[in-house]
Structure 1
Amino acid sequence: MNRKQIGIIVAVAMIIVGAIFYFLAGDKNKNVKQIQINGTPQQTVPANSGDVSPISGLTCDNWNKRSFAVMQPADVAARPLAGLSAASLA
């Protein structure tokens, strides 16, 4: 091996050792302050009361029936906002 190859190997080894030291032997006790929450917790109330659909927010007789059809938007930008990941059957 010539001096150039040995220099490259030594440099790479030093970078690897430095990275290992940085990630594994870094400061474990970082200055983290605990948040103190003072006061009493507030009681939650349901947003909808009565025969109100949780999807539309409108009053209807069959509010607790599961929907059986969905409409997927054709716009690619709107698809992540459609909530398809929360569907029980897709």
Structure 2
Amino acid sequence: MGSKFLKISLISAGAVFAVGAFFVTQSGRSFKIESNQGSHVNNTSTVSIASTPQAEPQEKTANNLSPISGLSCPNYNRRPVAVMLAGDVIVRPLSGISFADLVVEMPVITDIGAVPISLWTN
């Protein structure tokens, strides 16, 4: 059993060393994420005002869909809210589920019962 432990220790130490060597050798390579929001504000002379109204409605119709329901909504870019509700007889009736865009019911292995997960986007 001692040689098996020694082999596992050497293999795991070698793996840790290999991962460490990879990150040390890759440290010279880096990338920079730059925001170009400031350049749009300061460089207003290059923006064409006539082309902006034509491009915006197409983008809005394509992008204002809820990622959960697929329906158009005004606040499509908000984070969805996930809520877990107990499915026990004691807590029934469950209120607010009709307002959810998506309801998922999961079986629970313990004695709690089924727990529906509701997701709201608006």
Which structure is larger by alpha-carbon Rg, 1 or 2?
A: 1
Shorter chain as denominator, the TM-score bin is 0.3 to 0.5
TM-score by length of 2: 0.31
